[in-house]
Structure 1
Amino acid sequence: MTELDEVIQALQRELRSEQAQPGDKDTRAGMLAGLLEAGPARVAPNPGETVYHHAGYLSGHLLRWLIVRGQVFDERLRSSATGYASSLADPGGQAMLDKPDRPMTAHSYAAVRCERASRQALPESEERMLFEWLLEVTRTPYTQERGATFQRLRAHRQDRLRSGGLS
C-alpha cells in the first residue's frame, strides 16, 4: 500500500465517522475528491460547489501532487499545503486567480495567508513547491522571469514579515 493509498483510506474512515461535523464533512469530501484527481486540478469551483468543498478539493489535489513527487510530510508542510490551497479557494484567492498575472498574485496572496496563520515565514523550498504546483494547475510555464519575480516578491514579503508588517 502506498502513502497515497493510506491517506485516502484514512480520510474515507474519517468521512464514515459519526463524529465529523457537517461542514467538516464537506471539506473532507472535497479533499478526498482532490486526492483521487490524477489529472490537473480545476482552480475554479464547480457551479454550486461550496467554498469548503473546493478548499478541500484543492488541498487534496496539492497533497496528492506532493506525495506523488516523493515529498516527506511533517505537520508543518501538511498545514502549509492545506492553508495555501484553501486560500486559493476563498473569494480573495479566486479573485487573484482571475487576474492576468494570476500565478504571481494568487501565490503571493496564499503565501501571505499561510504566513499570517503560522506567524512565521514559509521555508523557501516549501514555498517553491507550492508555487510549482500552482504554475502546473494554472497551466503556466515556468520562465526565468517568473522565477526572478518569485524571488523578488518572496524577499519583499520576508522583509515585511520580519518587520511585523504582515499581521
Structure 2
Amino acid sequence: MNYVTYGGVTIGLCLLAHQLFTWWPGRKALTKDPARHAATLLPFLLSWSYGCLTTLGVGGLIGTASSAVLGISNWLGDAALVWGVGGNVGQLAARGTFLPLTGPGVAIVLVLTVAVVVSAKKSSRGGDIKRGAWCGITLGTSAGIAGFAAVPLAQAANWLGGTVYGAL
C-alpha cells in the first residue's frame, strides 16, 4: 500500500509551487487573456491527474514505478525537513475512501502511461508533464491535500474503460 509522509507532501507542494510561480504571467496579462494563460497549465494538470491515478492500486511496472517515486519523494522530503529545517517527520493519514480501478480502468491507465511518456519526450512542455506526474504521485495519496481528486479520477477512468472496452 502506498503511504505518504510529511516530507513526501512537502516535495509535492514544492513541485506545485514551482509550477505556479514559473507559470504566473502577472495579473494584467492574466486578466487580458485568461484562456491562453490557463491553457499553458493544462499539460501539468493532465499529468498531475495521471500521477494520482497511478497511486490507486495499479500493479506491475507502472505501480512499482509510482511507488518508487513516492518512496524516494518521502525520503527526500523527510531528509529536507529533518536536516534542512530541523522539523519532525511522520506518516500522514491515507485517503479515507479508496476506489480501486476496474480491469478496463487499469487498461486506461496503461494507455495514459504511453501518452504521458511520449508527451514528456516529444513535447516542448516535457518538464511540465514530468513535474505534474511527480506532483500527482506525491499529493494523490494524501487525504487532506489532493486525495479528494482520487475518487472522481478513478470513476472517470473506470467509466472511460468500460465505455471503450464495452463497445468492442
Fold shared by both chains (TM-score > 0.5): no
- Greater relative contact order (CA < 8 Å, ≥ 6 in sequence): 2
TM-score by length of 2: 0.27
- TM-score normalised by the chain length of structure 1: 0.27
